[in-house]
Every structure is written in C-alpha cells, then in structure tokens.
Amino acid sequence: MVPDDADLAGLQLVFWLDGLPLGRCEVAADDLPLSTATLASLASEAVAPAIGYRLFARGFEAPMPALEPELRPPSDATALLACEHPLAAVRERLAGTDVALEAGGSAAEVSVVVCTRDRPEALARCLESLRAAQPRPREILVVDNAPTSDATHRSVAAMPDVRYVRESRPGLSIARNTGVRETTGAIIAFTDDDAVVDPHWIARLAGPFTARDVMAVTGIVFPGALESEAQRMAEDRLWGFAQEFRRRVFDGRYFARMRGRGVPVWHIGAGANMAIRREAFSRVGLFDERLGAGAAGCSEDSELWYRLLAEGWRCVYEPAAAVSHFHRDDLDSLRAQWHAYMRGHVVALLVQFARYRDWGNLRRIALQLPFFYLVWLHDVFRRGVRTEGLLWWAAVSGSAAGVGFYLRHRGTPPVA
Amino acid sequence: MSSRPLTETRFRLATIDLARPLPSITLANDETGVGLTIRLDGQPIGFLLRDLPPGAMLAPDAVGRLLGPGERLALLEERIRRELWVTAGPPAAVPSLTAVVCTHDRPVLLARCLESLVVLRARGVERTPALEILVVDNAPSDGATRNVAARFPDVRYLCEPISGLDFARNRALQEATGDFVAYFDDDVTVDPGWLEGFVEACSAHPDAAAVTGPVLPLELATRAQVEFERLGGFRHDFRKTRFGVTLAGNETYPCGAGIFGAGCNMALRRDAVRSIGGFDEALDTGARLPGGGDLDIFYRLVRAGYVIVSEPRCLVLHQHRRTHEELRRQLWTWGLGFMAFLAKSYRADPTQRGKFRQLLAWWFVSKARLLAGRIVGREAPTVDLILAELAGGAVGLCGEYGRSCRRIERRRRAPTRQRVLGSGGA
C-alpha cells in the first residue's frame, strides 16, 4: 500500500472477509508503504479474536465492558488444533448462508426509521444506501423533525419506496417515537441521516431477534471519513468505543453484576445503528422525550436499553451489522455535540436512578465522572489547552448542565 | 519470608509443536512444574509456566488443556498469517552475517555458546553466505577464552583490552565482515532455526536495520530461575513485528525501548549502527553500570529512521542466574540500565521528553503495584527482587550515566590502550 496523498496522517484499515467485518488497525503515514508481509501480520493480529469466536466461541469471547473476564476451566483444544486454515473454515461456513439468515432473521419484519432535520444531502446519501440493501426491508420511513424548509420533503418525494412523515415538535426522541407509531414492522431499525449502511445491514441486525427475549440489537459504527482533526477526535473519543468485532450479549445477569457500580449501558452500542423489537415499547415504554438530541442531548437509546435490561430482557451487540457514520468535521460542532452528550448522559443517569433507585447511577455522577475529568485534565496539559482544554470544558459544563436540566424537567412525564 | 519452607523448585522444560500430535509429559519426582515452549512447524509462538505436582503425568489431551487463551489466540493468529501470506523465497541477496560473542572470563559458557553457533553454521540456509563467527575477548585475565576459541575451527578471536561490553561490541563492529552483526551473550545457546528466521525476516523486510528475537530459559532448575521467568523473563514476544516510526496503541513509543529486543540476541546492520556512531561505551561498563546499551542502540536506530524487526524464529536460550542473590543483582542491573538509558536520552533527545516523563511515572507506578501485590499475596521471597529493581532505577536516575561517562574517559586514556570508535552519539 502506497500513500497517494501528501498530507495524509495515516490509514485506518478495516479487514473484511466475504462482506463480514473482522478487525481493524491503524497505520501512520510515516510507516507507509506497507509490505504484504507487514500487512499479513497486522491483519492476522486484528482478525484472530473474531475468527476464533466465529469458529469456536468458547475461549474467544469478547470481554464484557467494565468487567473482569470470568476464569473458566480450560476446554479441550482438539478442534482448535485441527483447524489448519481458519479463514477458509469461516468462509466455508459463510458460503451460501448469510450470517443473519443462518440465524433465521427476517428482513420482511424490519421497518427502517431515519430521523432527520435540515440535512437533505446527507439524508439522500443515507437513503441511497438503504435502498441498495439486500434483502429489502419492509419499509423505509423518514421522520422530518421540525424542518425549517421543505427541502427534505422534496428530496424524499423523488424516492417512491421511501415514506415521509413530518413531526413538527423538535427532539430526536419525539421523532423516533413518531417513527415507532407510524411503522408496522415487528422490528424497528434506526439509523442516522449522517450515516450510510452496509448492504447486509438489515438482515444482520434482524438476526439475533430470533431469540424471543432479545429486545434490542446494535451494530458496529465505522467512521465514514477521518479527514479532519475534528473527525479524528470524534472517532477516538466519542465513537471509537465500538472497536469490538465479536458479538456481546447483555442480559439480566450482567445488569445485576454491574448494578452497584452503574450499568455501563452506553457500551451496548449507538443509536445510529440499532434495532428494537416493537414489543419492547409496549413492555417498557417509548423513548424518553427528555433525552435525545434537541432535548437533554443523547442517551435516549441507552436509557431504553437500561429499562430493558432491568426488566430482564436481553440486548445484543452484533458487529456483523455495519454502519458508517460521518462525524462532524469542525471542532466547534464537535464541542457542542460533546456538551450535549455529557448533558444527556447525566440526565439519563438521573432518570435511571429515579425509575429504579439503582445507586450505581449516582455513584457514576458523584465519583466516576469527576475522577474521569481529573485524569483527563492531566491529558489536557499534555496535549494542549486550545483544542483539548475546550473539549474538556464542554464535557464538564455539559455534565453540570445535565443536573440542572433534570431538575427543571423532573415533573415532565417521560413520554408526551 | 525466611520462615517459609524452601521447597526445591525445579521445572521440566518441554517443547510441543502444535503442527504434530501432542505428546504426553511426565514429570520426574523432583520436578514441580513445567516450562512449555509452544511451536508451530518449528516457529516459537508461546511459552508458559505451570506448577504441577511432582511426578505428574499429563496425557496428550491434558497437555492441550495447558494452553491458555493467549496461546490459543497466538496459534490462530499464526495460522491466519500463513493463510494470508505465503513465504516468498529469499531475495536475490541475503545479507551476510557475522555472529559475535563478547565474553569476559567465562570459558565454559562460551564453549557451549560456540557449539550452538557451529551447529547453526553447519546447517546453513540455502543461498545464504557462510556464517562468520567472531569471539571478542574483553579485558581477559588469562588465556582461557583464547584457548576455547582455538578449539573451534574457523572461529575468529579478537582481544579488546578496554574493559566494557560496548567497547567489545564496537570493536566487533569494526572487525566483522558481515553486512549484519548478530550479538549473542556468552550465556546463551542459539536455536538451530535462528538462521532461517533471520533470512525470512530479511526477505520480508529488506530495509530492516535490526532483527531481534525471543529469549527463553535454558534451564529452570532453581527457584530463582523460575521466579525470573514469572517476573516476565527476558523477552517473551513471539510476534513478527515491524517497528517503524510509530507503533499503533503505544503512546510512549519508541521510548520504552525494552519492546524492541534484548542485547543477548540482536542482529544489527553494521553500516546502520556505524552511521549513528556505534554503541555508547558509557553504558554496559561492567560492575557499576552493567546495562542499558541494548536499549540505547535500539532507540537511536529507530529515532534515526531505521526499522527493527522482531522474528520469533530468531530464538536463543539463556542460562538464567541460579541463585537468588545473583537474580537480585540482575534485577538491580535492569533498573539501573533502564534508568541510565532514560536519563541519557532525556537529555540527548529533547523532543521526546514528554514520553520519557510518562514512561518514568509508569515504571515506578507499575513496580510499586507489583510490589504491593507481592506483599499482599505474602510472596515475601520476591519482594526484595522488586525492591532491588527499584533501587537500581533510583541510582540510574541520580546521575549514574554522567559518572559512567567520566569513568570510561579514564579507561580510554589509560596508557597502551587504544580508542576504538566514537563515543556512541551521546
């Protein structure tokens, strides 16, 4: 591989096998070009955990977020020793049946909801990727959230297989709830207007729902572009936590083990790449309209997962379902986004505490977050106050604003 | 704690090759565990230590269950790598190689090391130039080393009168004829597959300026030797890694120079090392500052833009210190050598100071944690080892490098001794 761009800082490589993402790594521009031998070493190191998990599962499980891996008695190594060509073995398994289809997932049950606001170009790119998906979903619905012009409407009208609904009350949670009401599929998949989906996305996201007690499925989020400093920072700090290429199952047991420390539901996935079983909304309610972009900030997705886990249901992270998200590419909007994220995060913790009286949520606000900010402050001085310091302040002030926001909206019912 | 009964510790060393049916392993009645080298088609991919009851008998499937998550992942990784990349034949010109053993008054160890090198030379590798073997006798007190070298046909012998390992290494750099100089300590034996590994590394990375490899124990016959392996041993890195300008996920790269390799097993491109001024003779000087030279040469090579490649097949086996006192001194040496390197580089390479500060903090914190763990776990017999390393580190930080520079200047000026190379780019 040879760089063709003079101001290239580096490469992020994602390794795929027959349409299945298996690992990634980064290479700095200074170390280009890469020889095939080096690439083979990097690739094998990156994909081995996911390959092992696909072939043998046991012994290759992904560690659960914030939990020490469980020590289990060593299993028999015979099958592993006999497997001389692991990549060929995975390809053989994939041949003919798709990952999701082998599990019996049904795309015909999936309604896709894309909430948008005044971003017709980005939305068109997203819808194109959805219309190219195979198999096709049951329906694609665009929820136009408090638009300031009819540009979105006009752009969607040109696509006959995409439905359009206008929701004039602003707020991502409100728009998503409207999407839930306006669709009919047993599974509702959500992506963002600034994302594009992988052609297999719908089928793979639907796959884990064959288990009756799975109420939510999330997938992996890749960066659509890493062109600017802001995009790279957003990837490193805000989005980069989904680096795992092995399936994770979050269940009541995980919830119980983490309850005292605060269940890190934000590790389950991202709202830009998730699906919820319709039944879940009737069991635990819709998205909390105090949360989400346009209101407190984010975390409307993770707060719903919190309720699902607390009620004993399961959430599955399935990295075979891939979405690429185009992060903001200027630092000002990254800071604004971060401010909103931390505000939403704190509000969600308070909402979760109010609902279930799990003290771990308060512990996170009172202990973990301040400690995190202190450690980060040390980084601020190392990396430079101008970018890092402003980001730090955006997060800290966002967290503080979250407490105020919650107190002001305490009385508001979660779903209007 | 001295009250703890001093049970004899003695581990069986065994090798399994995962490409072949697993053997069964039976321990003798005085063996209390196993040190298992794991290979795949001859290539080392892992090493593990397990306590076992004396006389234990492990059937093949029980041997398979010894493999932990790390070893299993390494196996899978290596098989995937082979699926992705089929070894190309050696390139038109494989660099020629001089194997150098710098030694000081240890004729018995030297003889064993030379025997393994002669085996290596006899095996050879297709289309590669013959291996030159060179012994550098460093400030000998008698003729024993010269006599040992004379016993082996086609082994060149040189005497470097100025005492200090890096004087000897620099002398070898001048006198060797190979494109690469492979430095081995006299207390190692070289694995018969070493040369194949070297040729493969050079074929895959024609621009490599250094090739390093893992270091495993030659014996685990005493408690001190087992304890040394438990503390991480010399170098258990079985990945094929190309160390360039950056290393993904390593914030202090390239300042934590221990990752590159170990001085008892390193092949360096002669013209590259000469272009950066050779070894720093103020490091590895013997009694007062017996380490750091390897870290320093790796670091300066990478900072000068050269590439270091680690190749698992370039394996050597090292005779670890047998007694606890010797082991303690070795760990003191490591702390001292590392911190002397750090103090020197901090001054010499201002752009990297932030990383060195980070590394310094990390080093002391991790040693303190280790110490706390050992105290809580009541593993008192090893507490002094960690304390020794910490103490060595403290001495290294407090100006030992500067004192060493002044000491070697006196050695250089001593009459009838001639200077060898530059001062090592300090």
Between A387 and A221, residue with greater pLDDT = A221
Mean pLDDT of A5-33: 88
Q: Establish, for the pair of chains A and B, how many residue pairs have beta carbons separated by less than 8 Å.
A: 97
Examine the domain organization and report whether B65 and B105 are in the same domain: no
Mean pLDDT: which of A24-28, A233-237, B231-235 is highest?
A24-28
| Judgement on whether residues A323 and A341 belong to the same structural domain of the protein | no
State the average pLDDT for chain A: 89
Residues B316, B237 within the same domain: yes
**Does B362 touch chain A if contact means CB atoms closer than 8 Å?**
no
Q: Are residues B183 and B288 in the same domain?
A: yes
Domain end (from B37, B60, B84): B84
pTM metric for this prediction: 0.90
Mean of the pLDDT values across residues B117-143? 89
Mean pLDDT of B134-158: 95
The residue range of the domain holding B161 is: 94-426
Q: Assess whether B322 and B188 both reside in one domain.
A: yes
Are the Cβ atoms of B242 and A27 closer than 8 angstroms? no
Beta-carbon separation of A43 and B80 below 8 A: yes
Contact between chains at B72 and A77 (C-beta distance less than 8 A): yes
Q: Is A239 found in the same domain as A113?
A: yes
User: Do B145 and B181 belong to one domain?
Assistant: yes
B68 interaction partners in chain A (CB closer than 8 Å): 74
Does the beta-carbon distance from B85 to A40 stay under 8 Å?
A: yes
The per-residue pLDDT for range A364-403, each reduced to its tens digit, is: 999 999 999 998 888 888 777 778 888 899 999 999 999 9
Q: Please check whether residue B3 lies inside any domain of the structure.
A: no
C-alpha to C-alpha distance for A353 and A348, rounded to whole angstroms: 8
In terms of domains, do A358 and A402 share one?
A: yes
pLDDT of residue B263: 94
Q: How many domains does chain A have?
A: 3
In a domain, A416, yes or no: no
B203: nearest CA partner in chain A: A37
Q: Are residues B300 and B226 in the same domain?
A: yes
Residue B283 sits in a domain of what CATH number?
3.90.550.10
Number of domains in chain B: 2
B67 touching chain A per CB within 8 A: yes
* Residues B77 and B121 reside in one and the same domain: no
Same domain, B61 and B132: no
Range of the structural domain that residue A382 is part of: 335-408
For A293-318, write each residue's pLDDT tens digit.
877 788 889 999 999 999 999 999 99
Residue B306 — pLDDT band, cuts 50, 70, 90?
very high
In this structure, the dihedral spanned by the alpha carbons of residues A183, A188, A190 and A193, taken in order and rounded to 10 degrees, is: -30
Q: Do B68 and A382 touch (CB under 8 A)?
A: no
Query: Pick from A301, A332, A363: which residue ends a domain?
Result: A332
Are both A64 and A131 inside the same structural domain? no
For residue B43 the two structure tokens come to: 């290539």
3-state secondary structure chain A: CCCCCCCCCEEEEEEEECCEEEEEEEEEHHHCCCCHHHHHHHHHHHHHHHHHHHHHCCCCCCCCCCCCCCCCCCCCCHHHHHCCCHHHHHHHHHCCCCHHHHCCCCHHHEEEEEEECCCHHHHHHHHHHHHCCCCCCCEEEEEEECCCCCHHHHHHHCCCCEEEEEECCCCHHHHHHHHHHHCCCCEEEEEECCEEECCCHHHHHHHHHHCCCEEEEEEEEEECCCCCHHHHHHHHHHHCCCCCCCCEEECHHHHHHHHHHCCCHHHHCCCCEEEEEHHHHHHHCCCCCCCCCCCCCCCHHHHHHHHHHHCCCEEEEEEEEEEEECCCCCHHHHHHHHHHHHHHHHHHHHHHHHHHCCCHHHHHHHHHHHHHHHHHHHHHHHHCHHHHHHHHHHHHHHHHHHHHHHHHCCCCCCCC
Question: Residue A104 has what pLDDT?
Answer: 46
CATH of residue A119's domain is 3.90.550.10
**ipTM summary value:** 0.90
In this model, does residue B259 exceed pLDDT 90? Answer: yes
Write down which residue in B28, B62, B84 finishes a domain: B84
CB contacts under 8 A, B 271-330 vs A, are none
Has residue A414 been placed in a domain?
no
Q: Is the pLDDT of residue B127 over 80?
A: no
Residue B136 and residue B48 share a domain: no
Calculate mean pLDDT across residues B248-265: 92
Q: Do A201 and A246 have their domain in common?
A: yes
In terms of domains, do A243 and A307 share one? Answer: yes
Chain B interface test: which of A31, A90, A375 (most B C-beta within 10 Å) = A31
Instruction: Judge whether B280 lies within some domain.
Output: yes
Phi, psi of B318 (to 5 degrees): -115, 135
Pair A287, A388 in one domain: no
Whether residue B307 sits in one domain with residue B183: yes
Chain A positions with Cβ closer than 8 Å to B:
25-28, 30-31, 35-41, 43-45, 47-49, 51-52, 59-60, 74-78, 80-81, 83-88, 382
Examine residue A3 and state whether it is found in any structural domain, yes or no: no
pLDDT digits (tens, 9 = 90+) for B94-112: 899 999 999 999 999 999 9
Question: Which of chain A's residues have a Cβ under 8 Å away from the Cβ of B240?
Answer: 37, 41
Smallest Cβ distance to A31: which of B204, B246, B354? B246
Q: Judge whether residue A105 has pLDDT over 70.
A: no
Q: How far apart are the first and last CA of chain B?
A: 43
Residue B395's pLDDT band, with cuts at 50, 70 and 90, is very high
Task: Tell me which of B84, B118, B141 is where a domain ends.
Answer: B84
Q: pLDDT digit string (tens) for B35-83?
A: 999 999 999 999 999 999 999 999 999 999 999 999 999 999 999 999 9
Q: Is the domain of A168 the same as that of A202?
A: yes
Which of A299, A332, A365 delimits the end of a domain? A332
Boundary of a domain, candidates A332, A361, A394? A332
- pLDDT exceeds 50 at position B1: no
Q: What phi, psi does A164 have (nearest 5°)?
A: -125, 130
- Average pLDDT in the A126-142 region? 94
Regarding whether A353 and A319 lie in a shared domain, the answer is no
| Same domain, residue pair A251 and A363 | no
Same domain? B63 vs B119: no
Residue among A31, A39, A80 minimizing CB distance to B75:
A80
Residues A292 and A161 in one domain: yes
Query: Within a domain: residue B1?
Result: no
Both B75 and B146 in one domain: the answer is: no
A75 domain residue, yes or no: yes
Say yes or no for a CB contact (<8 Å) between B80 and A51.
Answer: yes
